[in-house]
Structure formats: structure tokens, C-alpha cells
Amino acid sequence: PGQDYQAPANLLQGRVILVTGASDGIGCVAARHYAALGATVVLLGRDLQKLEMVYDLIEKAGHPQPAIIPMNFSSATQADFDQLAVSIEQELGRLDGILHCAGLLGDITPLEMYDPDTWDELMKVNLRAPFVLTQALLPLLKRSPDASVIFVSSSVGRKARAFWGAYAVSKHGVEALSALFADEMANISKIRFNCINPGGTRTNMRARAYPAENPATVKTPEEIMPLFAWLMGPESQGVTGQSLDAQPPRLA
Ligand code: NDP
């Protein structure tokens, strides 16, 4: 569901949505798309200058004024996550969704040679941050009439593939994290928790993972937005604990 969704212009009007990894790639395009659909977006990333460029694009387009939260998931402390929840509550008064897009690729190399420090950093950015961030923001999400939390996984988060190392393990963890939140919250709140596998998408990360590939042969982030809109908006109410694909599988 959702791959061919055509979002009405005001789909996310009045909603506040946090997008991590909003400085580049899929997160940047999703933040701009959500803003175009009427949402007030909170742009989170580690590079303030890049975030300000996204902010300017949204403002120039006449969409609701966004907010910026600079944060590096490699070094963020519990106090930073707690403060983020306080800031969103004080500045914006509500939160209706999170898109967890920030991620690192790490090394494509056999486990036999995988650098343990790189492993630790990937677990922190790709897995620990979405957990702690969601945990810190649950009180706000519970107060929303229709909250949606979207985790971004990968095909190697469902079936491990040689050499994908900590990335594959972290994405398996993300799938489990989403399923656990969905299961635990199903009877006590209306918040929905789902995973999106974007499929091969034209970004810097994809180019690093597949340096020999012609980028023109993979979909742009803009082309995979229908599912991101559908899952964030009210028409996906009741859908929780699912792992969904943003595009049809590519033929080998
Ligand atoms: P990009 O590398 O283009 O963007 C990644 C984003 O995450 C950037 O905004 C980056 O910030 C941010 N980020 C990285 N490290 C940190 C950190 N330590 N703290 C805070 N933010 C950080 O990747 P994509 O857009 O391709 O990927 C987005 C998501 O989609 C990822 O979770 C990825 O695993 C997943 N994915 C992507 C696929 C693809 O084909 N592109 C396929 C399957 C899954 P900065 O701008 O500073 O680098």
C-alpha cells in the first residue's frame, strides 16, 4: 500500500513532524515534502549549515516556518535528547510524527576485518538514536490525536547480505525496534510505528555503497515520497507494526 498514493495538498496541515537526517538525501526531500503538505517540520541533523539551506528552501517556498535542531547522534547525551523534547514542547506545543531518516553506511567489508569502533558508531547513530529519541518523545506523541512514527530500514535489514556488516545488523535492530514499539503500544495508545524500506535511491549513501552504478538508473528521493506521505498522514490510521517497501523490487 501507499506506493502510488496521491497526497491531497493539505494532508499534514497543522501537524508538527520531526525529521532526522533532514540535511541530505531522503530525509531532506521528505522534510520538504511534508512541509509542502502543510506540516511544521523540525529539521534535525549534525550539520547546521546544511540544515539552514533546507530551512531556506522551505521558507522561500512559502510553507510553514520550520524549526532547526542541530544534533550529532554520534555524541549526543541523554540530556540532549531530554532537552529536545522540552524544546519541541515549549516552541511548538505538540508532536504528531517522527521520520527517523538519519543513518550511516559504515564499511562494506567482511566481518572478519570489520572495525569495532565503526561498529559502535553505527549502532549509536542507526539504532540507539531512534530508540532513545522515540522514548524521549513518547509523552508528546501520546498527546497527539493521530501520531505516526516511521523508521527507515533497508533490504539488508530484513535479510543480511555478505559484507554489509554493522549496517545490516543495525537495520535488523531497527526492524525489531519498530515491531516492539508497535506491539507494546498497540493497546495503550493510537500511535502507529512502521518501517519503510526505501529501496535503492539516488543519494550520497547509495553512491558510496555502489560506486560503479550509474545513479540515473535508481529512483530519486522525490519518486519514493508517496509511501512516506501516506504513512505519515491520516489515511494510514490503524496500520502499525508493518515493514513496507517504498518502491517495487528492482529486477536483477
Ligand atoms: P544520506 O547519506 O544522503 O543522508 C543521511 C542523513 O543522515 C544525512 O542528513 C546525514 O547528515 C544524517 N546523519 C548521518 N550521521 C549522522 C549523525 N551522526 N547524527 C545526525 N545525523 C546524521 O543517506 P540516504 O538519504 O540515502 O539515507 C537515509 C536513510 O535511508 C538511511 O537510514 C539509510 O540507511 C536508508 N536507506 C537508504 C537507501 C538508499 O538507497 N539511499 C536504501 C535503503 C535504506 P549529513 O548531511 O551531515 O551527512
What pLDDT band is residue 249 in, cutting at 50, 70 and 90?
confident
Q: What is the model's pLDDT at position 136?
A: 98
Is the predicted pLDDT of residue 141 greater than 90, yes or no? yes
Does some domain include residue 107? yes
Sheet strands side by side (includes 16-20) = 67-70, 40-45, 16-20, 97-100, 148-152, 192-197, 243-245
Give the binding-site residues of ligand 1, using a 6 Å CB cut-off. 21, 23-27, 45-47, 50, 72-74, 101-104, 125, 152, 154, 198, 200-201, 203-206
Residue (of 39, 73, 30) closest to 203 by Cα position = 30
- The verdict on residue 10 lying in a domain is no
Structural domain includes residue 250: no
Instruction: Say what the pLDDT of residue 250 is.
Output: 76
| CATH value at residue 108 | 3.40.50.720
Question: DSSP secondary-structure letter at 126?
Answer: I
Amino acid, res. 14: G
pLDDT at 252 over 60: no
Residue-range definition of the domain harbouring residue 73:
16-245
Give 139-198 as a DSSP string. HHHHHSSS-EEEEE--GGGTS--TT-HHHHHHHHHHHHHHHHHHHHHTTT---EEEEEE-
Instruction: Give me the interface pTM, i.e. the ipTM.
Output: 0.99
Residue nearest to atom 39 of ligand 1 (CA): 201
pLDDT at 77 over 90: yes
Chain centroid to Cα 143, Å, comes to: 21
Ligand 1 binding pocket mutation candidate from 18, 19, 23, 26 (most atoms within 8 A of CB): 26
Question: Three cell numbers at 2?
Answer: 501507499
Summarize pLDDT for 166-196 with one digit per residue, the tens. Answer: 999 999 999 999 999 999 999 999 999 999 9
Say how many Å lie between the CA of residue 118 and the centre of ligand 1.
Answer: 16
Residue 191 domain-assigned (yes or no): yes
pLDDT for 251 equals 67
DSSP 8-state code for residue 125: I
User: What's the 93 CA to ligand 1 centre distance in angstroms?
Assistant: 28
Strand-pair partners of 19:
43, 99
Domain contains 7: no
Could you tell me what percent of the chain has a pLDDT over 70?
Answer: 99
- Give me the mean pLDDT over the 24-37 stretch: 98
